[in-house]
Structure 1
Amino acid sequence: MKENQISIVFKSFFVIMTVFFSSYVSAQQNYTIDQSPNFWDKVQFGGGLGLGFGSGYTNISVMPSAIYNVNEIVAVGAGLQFGYMYQKNYAESFVWGGSAIVLVNPIPQVQLSAELEQVRVDTDYEQYYNQPSYSDAYWNTALYLGAGYRTGNVTIGARYDVLYDPNKSLYGSGFMPFVRVYF
């Protein structure tokens, strides 16, 4: 081969390799530009309602919440909680407070959660046999870690209060199933 032909082959090889590697490099640096700059486009609202009635027993709870989808994997949010419980000849209780939540979806069908809940419990106990009536008021803190199956806007799963203390906690168990819905 002549020197001129070797130069042309070398230059052609160099150009082909440059084109090949430049497309590889640009493929590794593709950036997605957020097409929804509006904050409210990434906010979802949801929450829970609870109703329980029985003979001389009433339990009502309302728990609105909202989350902000940071990206497809992580969402952060806050919620409020209001509750009323009455048991005839025993007690009447009001519960109110708030929570902060982090949701992580490592794959679309699995949702992991961490929720810090702080609620105020105000209870009036009625006179019972020879016991006088009295009131109790305290703050209850819970840290729930949970996992659930997610389909669309609905997640069904369970969570556990890692701070659960049977002598101080608001609920009878640290383990709690849940249905979470956000629109």
Structure 2
Amino acid sequence: MKKSTLKIVAKSILGVTTFLFSFGIFAQGPTNGLQPPNNFWRNVQFGGGIGLSIGSGYTEITIAPSAIYNINQVVSVGTSLQFGYISAKNDYSSTLFGASLIGLVNPIPQVQLSVELEEINVNTDYQYPGGSNTDTIWNTALYLGAGYRTGNVTIGVRYDVLFNNNNGYYSDPFMPFIRVYF
């Protein structure tokens, strides 16, 4: 990975982490006996994912913080950020960043339906004998998903309705997921 790209990714991760943790700090501040008029923060949940895969010459690191606002017990909306780094020794290295808009519907407490619009930027540096090549793409995905929900955890699968086998980052339109919100 290029040093400048690594610095940008590191600063972005630090900025997002600071931003997300600052909500907890502000929530503990003095209220002077006044309650917020709409209790907005009581309806916000934070979650996300962290991934790490290390193998023989292969490294993958993913950080994906997210937040949702519970409109009521059935409907929630939110957003997610995504940062990642993938490296296959002597083949390629790739950095990605992006964001998603999320809509969740719980028709019954155990079932969660979702729609998620994701936009990611992928920068890949390929190495091969005698040279190298750099490729940058934007990948847009529109996922429709369904999962089993218990407490704050949902396990399910989502399908990218915009999937194009010839143009995109992912190799399959189906993607399993685990969502956790606190």
Fold shared, TM-score > 0.5 on shorter chain: yes
Task: Output the TM-score relative to the length of structure 2.
Answer: 0.78
Give SS of 1:99's match.
strand
Residue deviations 1:82-107 (CA, integer Å, cap 9, x gap): 00000011101000010000000000
Alignment-mate amino acid for residue 158 of structure 1: V
Describe the SS at the equivalent of 1:168: coil
Percent identity for Structure 1 against Structure 2 = 64
Residue of structure 1 equivalent to 2:173: 174
Report 1:8-27 matches (<5 A): none
Q: Deviations over 1:151-181 (max 9, x none)?
A: 0000000001111112222112110111000
2:177 maps to a residue whose letter is F
Q: Name 1:118's counterpart in structure 2.
A: 119
| Aligned mates of 1:39, 1:86 — CA distance in 2 | 41
CA distance in 2, matches of 1:97, 1:177: 19
Amino acid at match of 1:54: G
Offset at residue 129 of structure 1 (A): 3.5
Distance in 2 separating the partners of 1:111 and 1:53: 32
Whether 1:107 aligns to 2:120 is no
**Match of 2:42, SS?**
helix
> Structure 1: how far apart are the matches of 2:163 and 2:62?
21
Matching residue's letter, 1:113: S
Q: How many residues align?
A: 146
TM-score, normalising length: structure 1? 0.78
Distance in 2, Cα, partners of 1:144 & 1:118: 11
Distance in structure 1 (CA, Å) of the matches to 2:143 and 2:170: 12
How far apart, CA to CA, are the structure 1 residues paired with 2:96 and 2:129? Answer: 26
Question: Residue 139 of structure 1 corresponds to which residue in structure 2?
Answer: 138
User: What aligned pairs does 1:52-91 form with structure 2 within 5 A after superposition?
Assistant: 52-91=53-92
* Separation in structure 2 between the aligned mates of residue 138 and residue 151 of structure 1, nearest angstrom: 37
* Structure index of larger Rg: 1
Paired AA for residue 147 in structure 2: G
CA distance in 2, matches of 1:134, 1:157: 37
2:19 corresponds in structure 1 to: none
Separation in 2, partners of 1:169, 1:138: 8
SS in 2 for 1:40: helix
Q: Which residue of 2 aligns with 1:148?
A: 147
Structure 1: distance between partners of 2:163 and 2:43: 33
| Superimposed CA distance per residue, residues 43-91 of structure 1 (whole angstroms, 9 cap, x where no aligned partner) | 0000011111110000000000000000010000001000000001110
Question: Does residue 1:50 correspond to 2:51, yes or no?
Answer: yes
Q: Which consecutive unaligned segments of at least 5 residues does structure 2 have?
A: 1-36
The code of the aligned residue for 1:61 comes to T
| CA-to-aligned-CA distance 1:106-165 (integer Å, 9 cap, x gap) | 000000000000000011111x245x3110011100001000000000000000111111
Q: Work out the CA distance in 2 between the residues paired with 1:164 and 1:54.
A: 29
Gaps of 5+ in 1: 1-35
Q: Give the C-alpha shift of residue 37 in structure 1.
A: 2.5
**2 CA distance for matches of 1:172 and 1:56?**
21
For the residues of structure 2 that align with 1:50 and 1:173, how far apart are their CA atoms? 19
Report which stretch shifted further, 159-168 or 100-109.
Answer: 159-168
CA RMSD of aligned residues (A): 1.1
